[in-house]
Amino acid sequence: MAPTTTAAASVRPITVDAGAVRLSGLLAAPPRRPPRAVLVALHGGGMRARYFHGEVEPGQSLLEHAAAHGYLAVALDRPGYGLSAGALPDGTGLAEQVRLVRAALTGLAGRHGTGAGFVLLGHSLGGKVALLVAAEDDRVRAVDVSGVGHRWAADPERTRDAGGFGAHRLHWGPLGLYPPGTFQFARDLAGPLPSREAADVPSWPCRFDALAGRIRVPVRFTFAEHERWWRHDEDTLRDMTARLSSPVVRVERLAGTGHNISLSRVARTYHARVLAFFDACLGASRETQDADQADGTGS
């Protein structure tokens, strides 16, 4: 489905200096400056930045929604995708992705006002990168992830190269969860995982256990009703949240969707909840800073 004139005018392609490489992506600017903050969205494995700019039905684009809400909204093609695929044909492991994404934040800050700082939104494998960046970078104010947990429900070693309906069910769930035209739109987005990225996939539970205590910003996890990659029973979620050192941890379930929430029929609902969470986190951060200054403890 062709994008509308409004969507084409409000979202534009960009390149971002990430040190050793340049990353491509999409940007939507708010109507007023400075922005409330910079929202950086990181796509999942085998996807692209356009995952966050759904154009199948009006109002589906996270980028347009976030910009209208006052954020400078940026969706990056993660290292090994888009512009950087030529320089990184095998992709990168998670540690190198974190280094390059942090460099991209610096590149964005050098070209744009950042308002209250950065908030990160990650889907699936991009959610892992977002959590790792949040654990290391004090410019990040909050992180919101979907399609990622801490304990596998499916065996990644057996399913990552699988084709056919089984793999489709894991990634998408029932076909009726997505608007007509979604899978045609997704043909331009979906592709194989770069080999170095794929090699890191099975190690995530151990990585999460090591990083959970280092995440000290608010974090929210969303699990789709038809999420099949990750366990999200109550006992598993209690174990996951107990490991985190975040001052605020929210875990939500979203009915009527599968793993790829931002392309589903409930994308607008999900994006509204993302922005409400970030608004609350930034408001709380502002109140804390004001209280510290009033007490004479601010820097």
Write out pLDDT tens, residues 132-158: 999 999 999 999 999 999 999 988 876
**115 near 38, Cβ under 8 Å?**
yes
Residue 17 CB burial class (10 angstroms; 0-12, 13-18, ≥19): middle
Note the pLDDT tens digit of each residue in 245-264. 999 999 999 999 999 999 99
Is the pLDDT at 293 greater than 80? The verdict is: no
Cα atoms in the 13 Å half-sphere on the side-chain side of 78: 35
Tell me the pLDDT tens digit for each residue of 161-202.
444 445 677 889 999 999 999 999 998 888 889 999 999 999
Residue 58, beta-bridge partner list: none
Q: What is the mean pLDDT of residues 210-214?
A: 96
pTM of the model: 0.91
> What Cα–Cα distance (Å) separates residue 80 from each residue in 18, 21, 48, 52, 126?
12, 10, 10, 18, 12
What's the confidence (pLDDT) of residue 108?
Answer: 98
Which pLDDT score, from 0 to 100, does residue 286 have? 54
pLDDT at 157: 74
**CA angle (40 as vertex; 247, 56 as ends), nearest 5:** 120
pLDDT computed for residue 191 by the predictor: 85
Give the mean pLDDT of 235-248. Answer: 97
Which residues are registered as beta bridge partners of 145?
Answer: 122, 221
DSSP state of 261: G
Indicate the pairing of strand 140-146 with strand 22-28: unpaired
pLDDT band at 290 (very low <50, low <70, confident <90, very high): very low
Contact 156, 45 (CB under 8 A): no
Tell me: the pLDDT tens digits for 72-124? 999 999 999 999 999 999 999 999 999 999 999 999 999 999 999 999 999 99
CB atoms within 10 A of CB 29: 17
pLDDT at residue 284, as a whole number: 66
Handedness of CA 209, 237, 77, 259 (dihedral sign): positive
For the chain, what percent of residues have pLDDT higher than 70? 88
pLDDT band at 237 (very low <50, low <70, confident <90, very high): very high
What are the distances in angstroms from CA 12 to CA 9, 15, 28, 72, 257? 7, 10, 7, 12, 28
Residue 298 tokens read as 């601010």
- The percentage of the chain sitting over the pLDDT mark of 90, rounded to a whole number, equals 82
Residue 169: what pLDDT? Answer: 78
Contacts of 293 (CB under 8 A, 6+ apart): none
Question: Is it the case that residue 61 has pLDDT exceeding 90?
Answer: yes
The phi, psi pair for 286, rounded to 5°, reads: -65, -40
Distance in angstroms (rounded) separating the CA atoms of residues 167 and 228: 10
pLDDT of res. 296:
46
Distance CA 267, CA 52 (A): 10
Evaluate if residue 289 carries a pLDDT over 50: no
Choice between 126 and 155, residue whose per-residue pLDDT is larger: 126
Q: What pLDDT does residue 6 have?
A: 38
Average pLDDT over residues 266-279: 98
Reduced to 3 states, what is the DSSP secondary structure of residue 103? helix
Average pLDDT for the chain: 90
